[in-house]
Amino acid sequence: MSWLFFGIGTLASVILTYKLRHLAFVSVIPIEKNRPLELKPLHYVGLCTMAAGATLSVASIAGVFVTFPYADKLVLLLGLAVYMITTPANGRSTFRANRPADLHGRFRLLAILGACVLFLAIVGCLVDITLSTILPSDFGLSVGIGVGVVLAIGMVFLAENARSRVGTHYQTKGQFQKMLQISWIRIPVTLMLGLYIGVSGIGLGIGYGYTYLFGVETTKVFEVTGWHYGGSRRCAKPEIEGRPLLIGEKALCVSKDARLSLPVGTELKAEGRESVVGFNVNKILSYTQKAGSTN
């Protein structure tokens, strides 16, 4: 029954999102009166993102699969923001036409603030890759996703604005650069890059640094629910209940052979520092296998 509700809700979300596509024409006037307003590829990216956010909301309500805290709302707002800030083809925003002169200074201040946040997030990404052992809390993860959404929107806006000013009349080299000339490939790649920088840099990197400096010593118990087998650059680590994916790069690192002694269902007792944004794992103190644990 839950999957039936999820299917009906998803279909309704897609139809409703498509019906709202003309919202992009609000507060927009045509540049050439003989040409109609038309949606740009970025509008369809926004529509698809809104539909994905609505689908995540339906999935959370139906209980068919677990989503990250506030992920559905953040994705929905991301899509709505991308959709609404994009001016239709042959259109000009009435807001821009009537923009007061003093707003330029405010936008410049916002640009400086955004650059500082981006720099901080990039530093955080380096911390995450090299040092972070954090298991983020719901609050810490929500902050990371929120900053990622803002960075994703800002990066797309700046990249597309710069592209329209510079123009596209230059020779591209390499298959990847040629692919980035296609709007429906370039824009999602930029969105994913901004979201990754926010989640990894702020949620896992800066969160690790904050907890390292201001956290308190404590111990916590976690249950093993699966395994990441690692590779040439990533360590093997157990999946723990409630945090299957987004944890620090160095969190819970063990040898690949440890999977035999830490099967699914095992309880881990870990020591570390805890703050409002997460728990930094210093070391695994002990583990206890439950009856019926499987490799």
What is the band of 141 on the pLDDT scale with cuts at 50, 70, 90?
confident
Specify the higher pLDDT residue, 248 or 165. Answer: 248
Q: Rounded distance, CA 109 to CA 103, Å?
A: 10
Does residue 132 share a domain with residue 202? yes
Compute the average pLDDT of residues 30-54.
79
- What is the C-alpha end-to-end distance of the chain, expressed in Å? 32
- Does residue 26 belong to any structural domain of this protein? yes
Whether residue 11 is contained in a domain is answered as yes
Dihedrals φ, ψ of 173, to 5°? -120, 135
Q: Check pLDDT > 60 for residue 189.
A: yes
Within-domain flag for 231: yes
In terms of Cα–Cα distance, which of 225, 276, 275 is closest to 252? 225
The pLDDT of residue 273 is: 93
Looking at 60, 93, 126, the residue that finishes a domain is 93
Same domain, 192 and 264: no
In the predicted structure, residue 102 carries a pLDDT above the cut 60: no
224-229: average pLDDT: 80
Q: How far apart are CA 46 and CA 103, in angstroms?
A: 26
Q: What is the pLDDT of residue 159?
A: 72
Of 15-19, 182-186, 233-237, the poorest mean pLDDT is in: 182-186
List the domain range (segments joined by +) for residue 79. Answer: 2-93
Which has the higher per-residue pLDDT, 137 or 71?
137
* Together in a domain, 171 and 221: no
**How many domains does the chain fold into?**
3
- Would you place residue 187 in the very low, low, confident or very high pLDDT band (cuts 50, 70, 90)? confident
**Residue 34 pLDDT greater than 70, yes or no:** yes
pLDDT over 90 for what percent of the chain?
A: 10
The answer on 86 and 127 residing in a single domain is no
Q: Which residue has the higher pLDDT, 270 or 59?
A: 270
Residue 275: predicted pLDDT: 92
Q: What is the pLDDT of residue 294?
A: 58
Give the separation between CA 155 and CA 189, rounded to whole angstroms: 11
pLDDT at 171 over 60: no
In-domain check, residue 154: yes
Q: Are 219 and 270 in contact (CB under 8 A)?
A: yes
Q: Both tokens of residue 256?
A: 């690949």
Average pLDDT on 252-265 reads 79
Q: Are residues 109 and 89 in the same domain?
A: no
Q: Tell me whether residue 247 is in a domain.
A: yes
Whether the predicted pLDDT of 261 surpasses 60: yes
Output 107 or 198, whichever has higher pLDDT: 198
Q: Band of the pLDDT at 271, cuts 50, 70, 90?
A: very high
Q: Enter the pTM of the model.
A: 0.66
Please check the confidence at residue 260 and state whether its pLDDT lies above 60.
yes
